[in-house]
Structure 1
Amino acid sequence: MRFILVCHFNSNSNSAETEVERPMFPSPTGHEYDAIDRLQAELPTIIDDETQQQVDDYRDACNDGKGAMVACFATAEFLSMFERKHQEAFDLFENTCFRPYKDKSSNGIEVDGTKAYPPACFNLAKMLMTGKGGVTVDRKRAYDVFDRGCRAGHGGACHIQAKMLLSPPGALGKDIPYDPFKAMDLYQDVCDLGDSVSCFTLATMLLRGDKINKQARNATPAEVRGEEPVMQRTNEDDRSANAAEDFEYIPRDPKRAEALLQSACRTGAHAPSCFNLAVMYENGDDGVPKDSEKAEEYKKKTEQAVHTLGGL
């Protein structure tokens, strides 16, 4: 059995030989959503009278960005999803992410001396990343807004901020920091809130170590421990770590990874986490002894999760 090692960043090439040759991620244009918008425009928009009244009430309560944060956020979501007025939605998300400290709206969180509605910051940052609706792509500002949303308590913002921190240095632009240790802290915080994907992602980092390339999607326990050579299988890129990369490798910590995988398997019925625990107990690892009973237990949990959720 193999560990599932899923990297939560992508690159446009194999492991770069030099920093100069490492490509940037392509910048989105915002037109990626045009086809979806055209399709939605052709579909009938059916909103019953009660729902329409709720929408109208939210618009009134928002009062052109001067009203309650939650009303403006709900209005922005409606504008983007149903009316496809993305720029208007963007303006309201921005308004709701950045309010004066004196703003009295409920659910506003103080950040840097101002008030933020965390879900609005999350949506604003996503639009800045993707250019949806013709919004100018600005990854540095997107990173800063994800950071703001994260500090306001939005787990999704923390998770994506962590993914950005793990992107190869310079791949998202020179202004985006590369900091795997801060990413680990963010994943741990969101994991503690019950997010199984963050638990799994952090566990993956702690299992990979310095023998396996960070873009490899799987490895055997013996490979990650250096007990056997990292094999390059048919139709697969070289999975061995590349000394020419200037990435920082996280020291292996299987015991901590075990606890994270247990949390993800237990709270989220997360099949990959249950599977990796089965592998860990079947093979044993540093600080984690072999345990055939636990291996069988987590094999069954994996099967249950796959059956329930439809796959790994």
Structure 2
Amino acid sequence: MKKTFLLLGLLVSVASADSGNGAVFDSAVVYRNLGELYYNGEETKQDYSKAAQLWQKACDLGDAIGCNKLGVLYHYGQGVRQDYSKAAQLYQKACNGGDVGGCRNLGILYYNGNGVRQDYYKAAQLWQKACDSGDADGCNNLGVLYENGQGVRQDYSKAAQLYQKASEGGSVNGYLGLGTLYYNGQGVRQDYYKAAQLWQKACDGGNAEGCRNLGVLYTNGNGVRQDYYKAAQIFQKACEGGSKYSCEFYKKVLTKINSQENLDY
């Protein structure tokens, strides 16, 4: 009932905004919030097209977050025709308006060369800006660049710091990246146990690659006690999460388990 009143209240606010009766609320925020309800299908039928219309209004009124959200729709073709160039323009407007999500998303386009000319250095600048503003995913993405030496001088120690900051900010990918550095001993002292802890957190957060890596540790007994049964459970989770290699690992571990059980018998 509370959510129903929320939707009704937003609709009334929109009507008031359109009537220009001098209401004290920020109409741009009202459009953005209403668009969020349509995008998520909360208390109304999910409608990306309607969300796009509302976020367009919010963006036109100068709402940076609304511009970023509209950019996401153009980026992925939700409710509108996919248009990377349009997404880039909207992300730029959002970033210029102070929305760190817009900076981060624009960096993704520059990294992949979608809608803009591929430019790792530009991506690094944008992700640095996002990270400095507290965006955990921006920190993680910047860490990837330092790990791989893309757009910046390769620096594993700097990558570790960024992954740490990302993970502390709630980025599951930060745990994954930092765990990889501990596993390989890059920028930090090699520590399989620490890698296992970090990949466990990534896996618990729904990161299939983190699950796959953790399964490998249990298979080989690196940083954890060797446990094929545990490995099989983790590989199965990773497989269900979209890691195709984990599906093959799962089958191989099951073969090992069945072979051992036959020997024990």
TM range (shorter): 0.5 to 0.7
Indicate the structure whose relative CO is greater, using CA pairs within 8 Å and at least 6 residues apart. Answer: 1
Which residue number in structure 2 is paired with residue 279 of structure 1?
Answer: 183
Structure 2's unaligned 5+ residue stretches are: 211-265
Q: What secondary structure does 1:132 align onto? A: coil
**Higher helix fraction: Structure 1 or Structure 2?**
2
Structure 1's unaligned 5+ residue stretches are: 1-45, 100-115, 210-247
Which residue number in structure 1 is paired with residue 189 of structure 2?
Answer: 291
Q: What secondary structure does 1:63 align onto? A: helix
2:64 to 113, 118, 123: 118
How many percent identity over aligned positions? 20
Aligned residue identity for 1:144? Q
Query: Does the aligned pair in 2 maintain the 1:261–1:276 contact within 8 Å?
Result: no
Structure 2 distance, partners of 1:64, 1:189, is: 39
Structure 1 distance, partners of 2:45, 2:56, is: 18
Structure 2 distance, partners of 1:300, 1:190, is: 29
Instruction: Count residues with an aligned counterpart.
Output: 199
Which residue number in structure 2 is paired with residue 227 of structure 1?
Answer: none
Structure 1 residues 78, 61: CA separation in 2 closer, same or farther (over 3 Å shift)?
farther
Aligned residue identity for 2:13? Y
Which residue number in structure 1 is paired with residue 104 of structure 2?
Answer: 159
Structure 2 distance, partners of 1:250, 1:68, is: 42
1:187 to 115, 127, 131: 127
- Paired residues for 1:92-131 under 5 Å: 92-99=54-61, 116-131=62-77
Aligned residue identity for 1:298? K
Query: Does the aligned pair in 2 maintain the 1:204–1:257 contact within 8 Å?
Result: yes
Query: Does the aligned pair in 1 maintain the 2:13–2:27 contact within 8 Å?
Result: no
Structure 1 residues 310, 161: CA separation in 2 closer, same or farther (over 3 Å shift)?
closer
CA-CA distance at 1:264 after TM superposition: 2.1
Which residue number in structure 1 is paired with residue 52 of structure 2?
Answer: 90
2:142 to 202, 212, 215: 202
Structure 1 residues 64, 145: CA separation in 2 closer, same or farther (over 3 Å shift)?
farther
Aligned residue identity for 1:203? G
CA-CA distance at 1:277 after TM superposition: 3.6
CA-CA distance at 1:146 after TM superposition: 0.6
Structure 2 distance, partners of 1:59, 1:131, is: 26
TM-score, normalised relative to structure 1 = 0.53
Structure 2 distance, partners of 1:302, 1:159, is: 24
Which residue number in structure 1 is paired with residue 90 of structure 2?
Answer: 145
Q: What secondary structure does 1:166 align onto? A: helix
TM-score, normalised relative to structure 2 = 0.62
Structure 1 residues 56, 193: CA separation in 2 closer, same or farther (over 3 Å shift)?
same
1:132 to 78, 87, 96: 78
CA-CA distance at 1:163 after TM superposition: 0.9
